[in-house]
Structure 1
Amino acid sequence: MATAAQWVQGARPRTLPAAVAPVLAGTGVAAYDGTAGDAVWWKALLALVVSLALQVAVNYANDYSDGIRGTDDVRVGPMRLVGSGAAPAGAVKRAAFLAFGVAGVAGLALAATTAWWLLAVGLVSVLAAWYYTGGAKPYGYLGLGEVMVFVFFGLVAVVGTTYVQTERWSSAALAAGVGIGALACAILVVNNLRDIPTDREAGKLTLAVRLGERRTRLLYAALVVAAAVAVVVVAALTTWWALVGLGFLVLGGRGVAIVQGGATGPGLIPVLQTTGIAELAWAALVAGALVLA
């Protein structure tokens, strides 16, 4: 059996900022736009549990599904539990479903105190997470992974976090969801850019494989630019203090420089962490400005 450290590594902690960021951003909008001008902090914490649990569940489910297909037999990136043989496939699958269960319990509490139709949103989110690389025809193998990430770890996560606290729809939350979703996509894009050779050989037709290396590098840069534009839109809809969120470009620009500089294979691994921290910085800076305003 895998060690505790290997299980932690299998949960891919470098991706967890992508789960924290949408909750921060959505809570910032809720604090600015809420009925009493205040966020409902216990609901924000429940939303954070949902988001983190779903992220971990996706990571374990991806490890399991890619592992049993043999996609991870030759790895350039970090170790995978099933592909490396460190843990049995069944154990990794159970870990994924345990994480899905944690997300479900927290989501049920949010739905019970807000609106029951949120259960349908949660169910669709879980199905999208599983069928990313699971099932007979995983859509992640068809180049649609970025769509899922943008929708569920961007729009749904941010807008949903705001809604459960204010129980109102917010255009600022939608704009924030676009910014967060763009950077979450950028993480996946650079991950798939790194894996183009092995994914192509395994028949995994990610968007990066379909676009090719040059256009994938351009896509990464375009997503960082889109996130910057989203900061400006959020500021226009709320307070111009939100423009401090453009500070994320210190890290985002570094990632663009490395990607456009032609880094390949292991040279792209640091960009995953840099982009994740850039997304977290986007959320923290924008949310901080909205809370103070």
Structure 2
Amino acid sequence: MTQAQISQPKIKLWMAAIKPPMYSVAIMPVWVGTALAFAEKKVFDVTVFCTFLVGAILILAWENISNDVFDSETGIDKNKHHSLVNLTGNKQLIFWLGNLCLIAGLSEILAIAIWQQDPTVFGIVLVACGLGYIYQGPPFRLGYQGLGEILCFFAFGPLVVTAAYYSQTQTWSMTSLAASVIVGIPTSLILFCSHFHQVKDDIAAGKRSPIVRLGTAKGSQLLTWFTGSIFPLTLLFVLCGIFPVWTLLSWLSLPYAFKLCRHVQQNHHQPEKVSNCKFIAVKVHFWSCLLFGLGFMI
């Protein structure tokens, strides 16, 4: 596996390090929160939406970059040739590049707070950044204790969706909290799927990821329930009158959910074959959240 990674063209390693598809994790919570604001309050400030979107993407870039830095300190990425630190051989450069992304991203959110003369959105995003740091950063490294999925759920679910809604309306909404659950679950799903192919490296570095704790077989079974919960939950909220019926458009992403569960169940014990499952999870996340938000807009 390591030799195959080394032989890849440099451009492929760089693309794997940058992870462009993963940035839907930053985009979708902002989209859903904004769509819900439009549905409830009939407001849509394009400038605020675009500014928040850029800020969220930059902050996620910081998290991804800093995770490579922090992982390089534990040795867990020694076989990961698409790590930014391993590609450049310059940990300090990558560290400060990540900090620059964080400062730029927070500046975007701060601009919204200044325009609106309301620090609420900035405060919520700061809390989300704090969760992002304690996930992987020293001395906390809670991701190494198997808590990453929980932190991910709250950071990219309740916090960012609520902040995006508030940035448009300057009010609170219980519906946005319910919607944030539907966004948070598939976001955590991506992180959960990223563990299946690196069990040996995780164990060697002392990382007690959920897959290390459960084993790949039980992990694949939990994945099925985890993935499947998105759709009945959406239906439940529709039946309760919390979501409009059009949010059931998100069920059109079911083929990707079936593909993900089937792929992991068949290959959970084969690292090279299961390593791409997180990208299938990204498709589940992207399409379910895109169609979910579209349901609110309609």
TM-score (norm 2): 0.89
1:168-225: CA deviation from partner (whole Å, max 9, x where unpaired): 2222222221111110111001101221121011111122212222232122222212
Say whether 1:269 aligns with 2:275.
Answer: yes
Gaps of 5+ in 2: 1-9
Cα offset, 1:113, TM superposition: 3.3
1:134-155: CA deviation from partner (whole Å, max 9, x where unpaired): 2123111111111111001111
Q: Indicate the SS of the match to 1:92.
A: helix
Which residues of 2 match residues 68-107 of structure 1 at below 5 A? Answer: 68-75=73-80, 79-82=82-85, 84-107=86-109
Say whether 1:112 aligns with 2:114.
Answer: yes
1:100-141: CA deviation from partner (whole Å, max 9, x where unpaired): 112110110122234213333222222222232221231111
Cα offset, 1:289, TM superposition: 2.1
Say whether 1:191 aligns with 2:189.
Answer: no
Which residues of 2 match residues 12-161 of structure 1 at below 5 A? Answer: 12-34=19-41, 37-75=42-80, 79-82=82-85, 84-114=86-116, 115-161=118-164
1:220-267: CA deviation from partner (whole Å, max 9, x where unpaired): 222212221332245331321211111111111110111122333122
C-alpha contact 2:196 2:275 (8 A) present in aligned 1:
no
2:285 corresponds in structure 1 to 279
Q: Indicate the SS of the match to 1:261.
A: helix
Q: Which moved more, 1:241-250 or 1:164-173?
A: 164-173
1:208 corresponds in structure 2 to 211
Cα offset, 1:85, TM superposition: 4.7
C-alpha contact 2:162 2:180 (8 A) present in aligned 1:
yes
C-alpha contact 2:125 2:163 (8 A) present in aligned 1:
no
C-alpha contact 1:12 1:56 (8 A) present in aligned 2:
no
C-alpha contact 2:125 2:160 (8 A) present in aligned 1:
no
C-alpha contact 2:14 2:82 (8 A) present in aligned 1:
no
Q: What residue identity is the alignment partner of 1:109? A: A
Cα offset, 1:281, TM superposition: 0.8
Q: What residue identity is the alignment partner of 1:239? A: P
1:227 corresponds in structure 2 to 230
Q: Which has the higher contact order (CA 8 A, sep 6+)?
A: 1
Q: What residue identity is the alignment partner of 1:101? A: I
Q: What residue identity is the alignment partner of 1:276? A: V
Cα offset, 1:6, TM superposition: 5.5
- Superposition misfits of 4+ residues, deviation over 6 angstroms: none
Say whether 1:166 aligns with 2:169.
Answer: yes
TM-score (norm 1): 0.90
Q: Indicate the SS of the match to 2:140.
A: coil
Q: Indicate the SS of the match to 2:98.
A: helix
1:246 corresponds in structure 2 to 251
